[in-house]
C-alpha cells in the first residue's frame, strides 16, 4: 500500500503527524527551544558575592605580618639587651676587682656591703637584658600578656632614662639616659597603637 511521496507538500502527512501542524523535531535534537548547553547559573540571592578578605579563616581582616613599628621595637629590644648584659658583666667584673683590692689592703670587711650592692646591680642588668631578649622573641607568637609586659618594661625604662638624664650632670650617664629614653619611647609607642592590639589579639591556629 502506498502512502504517497513524503516530499510532496500536498500529499498526506506521514504517519503519526497531525495535518496542519509543522513537523515536530525529534526529542533531544538541538536547535529548538533553549540553546545548547545548560542555562547560565544565576548568582545566589541576597547580598552580592564579595571576595574574601585576606587574613585568617573566618573572614575577619586580621594582620598576617608584624607591623613595621613593632619590627623596629623588636630590634631595639635586642640592641638594649646586648648593652644591658654587657654592662652588667663589666659591672660585676669591676666590683669584683675592687673588692679584691680592698681585701688586699685589709679593708675588705668595710666594703663587703658595697660589693654586695654592686653584684646585685650587675645581676639586675643581666636579668633585664634577658627579659629584653625574651620579649623580643615573643613578639612573633606572644599574646596580649607580652604586650602588657612590654608596656610596663618600656615605661620603667623611660623613668630610668629620665633619672639618668637629670642626674647625669651632662656626662656619659646623661648621654646614656637620652639613648635609653629614645629607645624606650619608640618601644612604648609601638605597643599602644591599634596595630599592636590587632597583632597580639589575632587568632592562632
pLDDT in tens, 122-141: 999 999 999 999 999 999 88
Residue 120, H or E segment: helix 108-138
**CB neighbours of 61 closer than 8 A, spacing ≥ 6?**
53, 54, 55
Q: Which residue has the higher pLDDT, 109 or 6?
A: 109
Segment among 4-8, 87-91, 124-128, 154-158 with least mean pLDDT = 4-8
- The reply to whether 78 falls in a domain is yes
- The reply to whether 127 falls in a domain is yes
- The reply to whether 77 falls in a domain is yes
Residue-level pLDDT at 35? 52
Structurally, how many domains does the chain consist of?
1
- The reply to whether 88 falls in a domain is yes
For residues 153 and 160, give the distance between their C-alpha atoms in angstroms, rounded to a whole number.
11
- The reply to whether 121 falls in a domain is yes
- The reply to whether 90 falls in a domain is yes
Segment among 46-50, 129-133, 174-178, 199-203 with least mean pLDDT = 46-50
- The reply to whether 166 falls in a domain is yes
Q: By residue range, what is the domain housing residue 73? A: 68-200
Residue reference for cell 516530499 = 7
Query: Percent of the chain, pLDDT > 90?
Result: 38
Residue-level pLDDT at 133? 95
* Chain segment 64-102, per-residue pLDDT in tens: 788 899 999 999 999 999 999 999 999 999 998 888 888
For residues 121 and 114, give the distance between their C-alpha atoms in angstroms, rounded to a whole number.
11
Q: Region 153-177: what's the mean pLDDT?
A: 84
For residues 60 and 53, give the distance between their C-alpha atoms in angstroms, rounded to a whole number.
7
- The reply to whether 195 falls in a domain is yes
Amino acid at each position: 500500500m502506498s502512502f504517497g511521496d513524503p516530499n510532496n507538500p500536498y500529499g498526506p502527512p506521514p504517519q503519526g503527524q497531525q495535518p496542519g501542524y509543522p513537523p515536530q523535531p525529534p526529542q533531544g535534537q538541538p536547535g529548538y527551544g533553549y540553546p545548547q548547553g545548560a542555562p547560565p547559573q544565576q548568582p545566589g540571592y541576597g547580598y552580592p558575592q564579595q571576595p574574601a578578605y585576606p587574613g585568617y579563616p573566618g573572614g575577619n581582616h586580621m594582620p598576617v605580618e608584624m607591623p613595621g613599628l613593632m619590627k623596629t621595637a623588636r630590634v631595639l629590644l635586642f640592641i638594649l639587651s646586648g648593652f644591658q648584659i654587657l654592662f652588667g658583666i663589666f659591672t660585676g667584673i669591676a666590683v669584683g676587682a675592687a673588692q679584691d683590692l680592698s681585701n688586699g689592703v685589709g679593708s675588705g670587711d668595710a666594703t663587703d656591703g658595697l660589693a654586695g650592692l654592686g653584684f646585685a646591680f650587675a645581676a639586675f642588668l643581666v636579668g633585664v637584658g634577658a627579659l629584653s631578649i625574651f620579649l623580643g622573641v615573643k613578639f612573633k607568637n606572644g599574646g596580649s600578656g607580652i604586650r602588657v609586659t612590654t608596656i610596663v618594661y618600656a615605661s620603667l625604662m623611660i623613668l630610668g632614662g629620665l633619672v639618668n638624664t637629670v642626674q647625669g650632670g651632662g656626662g656619659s650617664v646623661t648621654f646614656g639616659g637620652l639613648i635609653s629614653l629614645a629607645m624606650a619611647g619608640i618601644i612604648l609607642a609601638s605597643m599602644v597603637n591599634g596595630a599592636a592590639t590587632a597583632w597580639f589579639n589575632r587568632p592562632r591556629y
